[in-house]
Amino acid sequence: MRINAHYLELKDDYLFAEIANRVSAFQSAHPTARIIRLGIGDVTLPLPRTAVEAMRAAAADMGETSTFKGYGDYPGYAFLREAIAGYYQTKEIALEMDEIFVGDGAKSDLGNILDIFGPDNTVLIPDPVYPVYVDTNVMAGRRVTYVNGSAENGFLPLPEESLHADVIYLCSPNNPTGAVYSRSGLKRWVDYALDNRAVILFDAAYEAFIHDPNLPTSIFEIEGARRCAIEFCSLSKTAGFTGVRCGYTVVPRELTADGVPLNKLWLRRQATKFNGVSYITQRGASAVFTPDGLTEARANIAYYLENARLIREALSEMGIWFVGGENAPYIWLKCPNGLGSWAFFDKLLTEAHVVGTPGAGFGQNGEGYFRLTAFGARDNVVEALARLKADF
């Protein structure tokens, strides 16, 4: 038996392990130092009460013969798909039920969707980038080319007409930079995809952090996107579901290749290699889309965005260049004094006892940059910023 040799081409996934090692070494040498983590990519506030109550009731359903649920539909229960369609309606986007697929998270679907594409496609990925876009394609042996994010384009690269691509990754609001594409920026990408007969894999996991009404929260707000884009979204950051696992993927009916609807291929993939999401989880997710659920989820997001505002304010006062943090939980800053990402990491850790994420871990254009996140507790954010201002 032979292994998939492409796995041997993967780079070691060492970013967060290396961070943990350095933090642990410092803490051992300085046991009294109170380290504050502003590098965390996970939510910290508890779930909306309505989601908790819905899941408790659903668990009880599973204990009674009359309300017990076995296998559900592969693409998800109608009650949840209707709730998701209702959410899109508030964005003035009309979806059919068979365009919506409930899954166990955007990460799973973003990885698994590649199953329906041939290995001989050229993949275009912005740098810096969420590392799994690259790794999942390396695993399949696909050619990967990059477009460059930079301070000059505000880390929102636009298509280069000279470059051909078949599969394009976009993430807006962006992880790791927090930058958000405008409608005209996304229109450029949609037009480019249509010209290249390419598909855009649009990662909208952070869409709920957009409060500026001029910014698009879905690729399907852009004309032509239904013929070239798949959208991935998640309850993880919208409602704190990182530990509950529920996402959804929208594959429009118009999206075809060689006359084959991708929608049907994805349904076949899911029916063959997946068995749906827990009924309990789906009840919790559908509760998030009720008026009470949305109000509670948005209160949590407002808390994180206030953290982000405090971080932006402090960086501005310190004269440090940054993007993000306005409609996103991530703030992407230029390391002061021309420091490299890891040098700044060490300085921040040893002098301010604050932990962030070196930008170099997200691609070569990340070198010299640094990611802070807004997912911490308010007291810690305030304390960390006071230390930064005192030390830099």
Positions 33 through 52 that interact with a second copy (CB under 8 A)? 42-47, 49, 52
CB of 193 to a second copy, least distance (A): 9
Take residue 331 and report the two structure tokens written for it.
Answer: 């703030």
Q: Which of 84, 85, 167, 215 binds a second copy (CB under 8 A)?
A: 167
Binding of residue 290 to a second copy (CB under 8 A): no
Q: Interface with a second copy by CB under 8 A: which range of 20-28, 57-65, 202-210, 342-350?
A: 57-65
List Cα–Cα distances, 33 to 20, 237, 373, in angstroms: 16, 30, 21
**Size of the chain, expressed as the number of residues it contains:** 392
Nearest approach in angstroms of CB 111 to a second copy is 3
Of the candidate residues 34, 56, 378, 389, the single one contacting a second copy (CB under 8 A): 56
CA dist., res. 159 & res. 370, Å (int): 25
Beta strands in 254-360 (DSSP E): 256-257, 260-261, 322-324, 330-334, 354-355, 357-358
Site for a second copy in 229-258 (CB under 8 A): 240, 242-245, 257-258
What is the greatest pairwise CA distance in the chain?
Answer: 67
Q: How far is CA 369 from CA 7, 55, 321, 358, 366, in A?
A: 29, 41, 10, 7, 5
Contact 209, 237 (CB under 8 A): yes
Q: Which is nearer to a second copy, 88 or 289 (CB)?
A: 289
Q: Which is nearer to a second copy, 202 or 369 (CB)?
A: 202
Among 5, 92, 213, 337, binds a second copy (CB under 8 A): 5
Report the site for a second copy in 128-157 (rule: CB under 8 A): 132, 135-136, 139
Nearest to 370 by CA among 318, 319, 335: 335
Q: State both tokens at 254.
A: 């118009």
Cβ closer to a second copy: 111 or 336? 111
> Which window, 17-25, 86-94, 101-109, 306-314, contacts a second copy (CB under 8 A)?
101-109
Q: Which tokens hold the place of 191?
A: 């037009």
Of the two residues 138 and 343, which places its CB atom closer to a second copy in the complex?
A: 138
278 near a second copy, judged by CB under 8 A: yes
Residues 58-97 that bind a second copy (CB under 8 A): 59-60, 62-65, 68-72
Nearest-angstrom CA–CA distance, 382 and 369: 22
Residues forming beta bridges with residue 358, ordered by sequence position:
370
The rounded distance, in Å, linking the Cα atoms of 58 and 280 is 5
Nearer to a second copy (CB atom), residue 256 or residue 350: 256
For residue 128, say if its preceding peptide bond is cis, omega within 30 degrees of 0.
Answer: yes
The interface mask with a second copy, positions 7-36, x = CB under 8 A, is xx-x--x-----------------------
Least Å distance, CB 340 to a second copy, is 27
Identify residues 192-211 at the interface with a second copy (CB under 8 A).
Answer: 197-199
With CA atoms as reference, report the closest residue to 109 among 83, 76, 79, 82. Answer: 76
Smallest gap from Cβ 171 to a second copy, in A, equals: 16
308-337: which residues touch a second copy (CB under 8 A)?
Answer: none
With CB under 8 A as the rule, give the number of residues binding a second copy: 76
- Classify 118 as helix, strand or coil: coil
Q: Are 338 and 352 in contact (CB under 8 A)?
A: no
- Cβ proximity to a second copy: between 245 and 371 the closer is 245
If the CB atoms of residues 112 and 249 are measured against a second copy, the closer one turns out to be 112
**Which residue, 140 or 343, has its beta carbon nearer to a second copy?**
140
Burial grade of 336 (CB within 10 A; 0-12, 13-18, 19 or more): middle
Given 176, 216, 284, 325, the residue binding a second copy (CB under 8 A): 284
